[in-house]
Amino acid sequence: MKKHIVIVGGGFAGINLIKSMVNDKRFRITLVDKNNYHFFPPLIYQVATSFIEASNISYPFRKMISKYKNVNFHMGSLVKVDHENNTLETDHGTLQYDYLVLAMGTETNYFGMENVKKCSLSMKTIDEALYLRNYMLLTLEEAARNKDIKKAQKLQNIVIAGGGPTGVELAGMIAEMGTYIAEKEYPEIKLGLSNIYLIDALPTLLSPMSKTAQEAAHERLAKLGVKIILNVAVKDYVDQKVILADGRTIDTETLIWTSGVIGREVPGLPAESVGKGRRILVDAYNKVDGLKNVYALGDISLQLTDKDFPKGHPQLAQVAIQHAVNLGKNLKRMEDEKVLVPFKYNNKGSMAIISKFDAVVDLPKFSYKGFIAWLTWLFIHIIPLVTFRSKARLAFNWLRLFITNNPSIRLILRPKKETGQYEQF
């Protein structure tokens, strides 16, 4: 009989595991996801800043898997894992499995700050990116109408908490929007009142990257007018004031939180199987500690068996992809009664875009920056997109927009946020 593999999460790990096992008649695969589409997270900040459409980085699961004979899709959210009875409960039914693979990734970590959680803007999902886009456009419209200088400055101040790749990329993109777009389209706004703050508790931007990357990001963002505040954490957000650990405050109606992530909760897993940051502890084969047929891949997993990464692998797309490929091979090896291969991460480097035609790239043996790094970033971020149509459309749009400096998709389509939840659509 076919072994049933249930995969929860259609991100890099889930999709690449499916690709590694498609049309193998020994397995039946069910993909579970709360959304009906796969999307490309590294470019989500460009959706949030009105540079590209969400459809440029998204693709429906059912269309993706329609060519695979052994793959089905179940739209639903995980409710509980019953590892003793090999069942997965979702909000739309219960699935029986032979192998369960958890690949749901992470969610925003607010470090227990309830005011920040309630009032800040995050950017982990397409829904959140679209809401952030609408929020910033509405704020610009309000600033254009406002005659009170103090109120106008509060509307025009933007605080980004988190100096990692997402925070740096977002700060650069917003700064360039102010230069190329706001000056032309919002003549009522006194841009001298506008400030973009990028805040991080660590002493450098892009802390996991090389010194070359850190210095390049700091220098370029400073030239764009971004006010960089390091070695101090955001402690609270009260009455539209960002409160810093050293007592300083910043008046703003826009706090964008990119400062940390935490693993998504999986009810039903033994407490001893969950480690730091709510990441699921796994062995060298990505099997969850203490369980016989449950696996975890990508950002949600914490693997301490790789001697080159004794504290666990970085939460990067390449780790998730390589996890998936290795597990796919091992599941086939189990069926063939062959020796399993432990996971070994092949570090291919990291990169971040800073601004137009400017990026930083860290490879295992050297680093570089500038226009060539930007072309590398562009090439690497197009390749993983799902279809040729997506690649061609995104490449064309990028070329046109970078030349004209004038994206034309600044449409306020879903501006409401009700009862603390993003509007459903």
Residue 354 lies in a domain: no
User: CATH number of the domain that 301 lies in?
Assistant: 3.50.50.60
User: Model-level pTM?
Assistant: 0.90
User: 416 in a domain, yes or no?
Assistant: no
Structural domain containing residue 403: 114-259+369-407
CB 138 within 8 A of CB 414: no
Residue 422, pLDDT score? 43
Note whether residue 353 is domain-resident: no
Pair (28, 127) in one structural domain: no
Number of domains in the chain: 2
Same domain assignment for residues 286 and 330 = yes
Question: Is the residue at 189 inside a domain?
Answer: yes
116-120: long-range contacts at Cβ-Cβ below 8 A with a sequence spacing of 24 or more? Answer: 116/161, 116/234, 116/236, 116/237, 116/255, 116/257, 118/420, 119/237, 119/255, 120/161, 120/237, 120/255, 120/256, 120/257
The DSSP output letter for 230 is: -
At 243, which CATH number?
A: 3.50.50.100
Give the pLDDT of residue 53. 84
The predicted pLDDT at position 406 comes to: 61
pLDDT at 402: 65
User: Do residues 68 and 122 both lie within one domain?
Assistant: no
Residue 234 shares a structural domain with residue 381:
yes
Domain co-membership, 65 together with 25: yes
Report the C-alpha gap between 214 and 206 in whole angstroms: 6
- pLDDT of 153 reads 86
Q: What is the pLDDT of residue 57?
A: 85
| Residues 95 and 119 reside in one and the same domain | no
Does one domain contain both 122 and 251?
A: yes
pLDDT, block means (10 residues), the chain with 425 residues? 95 95 93 95 89 86 93 98 98 97 96 96 93 90 86 91 94 85 79 87 94 95 96 96 97 95 96 96 98 97 96 94 97 96 94 86 90 84 62 68 63 56 42
Q: Is residue 255 part of a domain?
A: yes
